[in-house]
Amino acid sequence: MAEAYEINIAPHNYYSHLADLHSLHLCAVLPNVCIMEIDVDDVAWKGSLVTKAPVIKDGHIFLPEGPGWGADINEEVLRAHPWLGPGDRARAFYGMSPEQMAARPPVT
């Protein structure tokens, strides 16, 4: 719809490389993408969360040649870094301080 009105799009993503690959595949088929934002300065284990991290060189991200999204989730790494539930607020997550953890909205 944006292309029909000559409007560019700019997907913003600050999640995992799997989400990067989702955005990348969307951008690969749309003619009106002006930029795709990703977070390259994240947790140290971000690259190992997928079986093949996206290739980023000179400000460009390259479309993988593998099937599907081009990578699978590394479930061992995923299990090692669980999303915290309400009873787990004392542990830090993604480098958050205990104060930041306490400020998170309750999980319902």
Name residue, tokens 């993604």: 94
pLDDT tens digits along 12-61: 887 888 899 999 999 999 999 999 998 877 888 889 999 999 999 998 99
pLDDT at 31: 94
pLDDT tens digits along 52-105: 999 999 989 999 988 999 999 999 988 888 776 666 554 555 556 667 667 766
Residues 95, 5: Cα–Cα separation, whole Å:
41
pLDDT at 15: 82
Task: Check: CB of residue 46 under 8 Å from CB of residue 84.
Answer: no
Residues 62, 25: Cα–Cα separation, whole Å:
10
Task: Enter the pTM of the model.
Answer: 0.71
